[in-house]
Every structure is written in C-alpha cells, then in structure tokens.
Amino acid sequence: MLQITEIPVPGYESVRRGIDKDRGLHAIIAVHSTILGPALGGMRLWPYRSEEEALYDVLRLSKGMTYKAACAGLNLGGGKSVVIADPAHKCKELFQAVGEFVDSFGGKYTTAEDVNTNTEDMEIVSSRTRYVAGLKGRSGNPSPYTAHGCFVGLKATLEEVFGSSDLQGKTVAIEGGAGSVAGYYAELIVQAGGKVILADIKDKEVRARAHKLGGSVVPPSEVFKQACDVYAPCALGGTLNAETIPQLRCKAVTGAANNQLREPADGERLRARGILYAPDYVVNAGGLINVSGEVGQSYDEKRSLAMMDKIYVNLKEIYAIAKKDGIPTSAAADRFAERRLDAARAAVKAKASA
C-alpha cells in the first residue's frame, strides 16, 4: 500500500515521501515553485546511500528546474522526483507505484524521464497517471534535445571566449562520455570539426564511443585536468568545486549535468581563474523545452527547436550581466531568472489585491 507523507521544507511548495514496501518504492517528489505554471521535471532513479542524500538531491534539482524554466521563458514551474533504487531492479510494479505517487499531486507536478529512467518506464507510469511527458509518439527521448541545447550554448560560449563559434580545432573534455546526452553532444561537436576527450565509469562503452568518434579516453578522475578548450560535465553534479577548479586547464565550461557547482562560491572560483562558466540550467534546458511542447498543446518539434535557439540569446545576455555587474555568470543567471519570477509574483499579488 502506498503511504505518502509531507516533508516540511522552507521555500518549497510541497515535498513528499512515497513508500510502498510491497512494490519496492521509496521515493521523494519535490515541487519548488508553480508561480509560472505547473511543475515539470524528470524522474531520477539512483541507489542513494540514504534518504538524506536523496532529499538533498531532489531539493537542488527541483529548484534548478524552476530557474531553468524561468530562463527558458516557459510557463512552467520547478519539480523533480527521485526514486531510491538499484537500476538493475527496475520492474513494472515499481513504476506503477510511482505513477500513483505522481498522481497524488493532482496535476501540480508532471514527470518525465531522467537518469536511469526511459520512455518505456514512463509508459508504465502513465498507466497510473496522466501527468507524464516524454512518451513515445510525442516528444519522446529528451536526450538529443538536451544535447542540441548544450551545443547551442557551446557556440555562444566559444564566441564569447574566442571571438568565434567555430569548433574547428577545438577540444572538449566530456565527463560522463558514455551517457545518452553526452553521446549526442559529442557527435555534434565532432561533426562541427571539434575533438573530444571522453571519461566515464563505464569503460567498455566509453571506449567504443571514443573509437567511433575518433576521440580519446581518460579516467573519470583525470578528465577535469585535461588541457582542452572546454570542459563539459555531463554526469552527476558537484564536479566543479574547491578541489577540481584549481586543476582545470580549460577556457570555458559548458556541459549538460545539473547542479555542476558544489556550492555558490564555486562560481566566483571559476571567475577568478578566468574560466567562463555557462550556467548549467541555462544550457541544458533543451530537453525541458522539448518536453514542454506536450503540456497543454500538441507537440511540434520545429517549434521546440526554434525555442532552443533562444539559449544562445539568453547566454549572451547573462554574460553581459556578469561583465557589467562584476559577478560570476552563475549569479548573473540567477538574476536573469529571478527577474521573471519576481514579475510573476508581483502579478499574482496585484491580482489578489485588486
């Protein structure tokens, strides 16, 4: 039997724990904000060491989704779900229970695939709730679109650093190189004339991909130390921190991972080293933009791709804010997002007092 309990967290609209021992479910769904619209965010399945670790992750991820949607100009809020489980033990019953958990939010939160979940899993979830996006026959797998958005962001970043978006002769070191998004991202880079250095804990898979793309492979512990033009974190978050930033040998950071900075001070650490950081929730918004095309409208790929082009424009404005105000690009991105969130809050307040 599914048991749902509320977890009080200041600054979040709703955080709930869902447990169903019979079906192996232990999950947390966090809705950070719906000021711009219903929350949309993927479902991550991971063998977290504790519920505390899972809660920390889902809170950071859901807040990031609020800012991602705000920067992308979407009328959506921020939410996320994490399932504490071994990916090897996925089963139909587990995702049916997840679907019932998602449905308990009554449309305040819509889920989609994320780390260790896919369109097949979402099909099962959809048997218990209609609040699922990214299904087959609609927007589908978000990975190629996330990669496309990152590539758009990469070109804006290269232009800012080198005066040209040309990738010819440029080298990008990709952490998480065996992943789905990283694979599409690496292909786009190589097709444009760039070179890739790949790293991943999945050694066999990453070597096969590097061979296919004419790239090289380094251990995950060495990827951020590589001499390259761009470092691209495309695995889990927190790889930009007080330990790794001093060892970076790149001019810029543009990757697909969420929550790349371990702490806010890491943005200033990058700025102090003269490394241009493309804020993660701005450049990795392609998947969200694409799947948002299902919410309240008929899906249209051309429309979604056109919206992703705005990532370039948004990044250039964020870089301009950072220069003008003398702040890290991470702080500039927050300001960029908060302008829209503040405007939405003011509109709600004005309507309530009218």
Output the pLDDT for position 158: 98
Q: Are 120 and 92 in contact (CB under 8 A)?
A: no
The pLDDT value given to residue 296: 64
pLDDT bin (cut points 50, 70, 90) of residue 266 is very high
Q: Which residues contact 183 (CB under 8 A, 6 or more apart)?
A: 143, 147, 177, 209
Regarding predicted confidence, which is higher, 333 or 138? Answer: 333
| Across 283-310, average pLDDT | 84
Query: Which of the residues are catalytic?
Result: 80
- Least-confidence region, from 9-13, 24-28, 269-273, 296-300: 296-300
Q: Which tokens in the block code for residue 332? A: 């500039």
32-36, 298-302, 303-307, 347-351: which has the highest mean pLDDT? 32-36
Mean pLDDT, the chain, rounded, equals: 94
Q: At the topology level of CATH, where does 143-338 sit?
A: Rossmann fold (3.40.50)
pLDDT at 354 over 80: no
What is the topology classification, in CATH, of domain 3-56+77-125? Rossmann fold (3.40.50)
Q: How many CA atoms lie within 13 A of 108 on its CB side?
A: 17
CB-CB contact of 318 with 332 (8 Å): yes
Higher pLDDT, 351 or 124: 124
Residue range 256-275: average pLDDT?
A: 96
User: What are 198-208's pLDDT values in tens digits?
Assistant: 999 999 999 99
Q: What ranges do the domains of the chain cover?
A: 3-56+77-125, 143-338
For residue 298, what pLDDT band results from cuts at 50, 70 and 90? confident
For 16-44, what is the mean pLDDT? 96
Share of the chain above pLDDT 90, in %: 86
Round to whole Å and give the CA distance between 7 and 201.
34
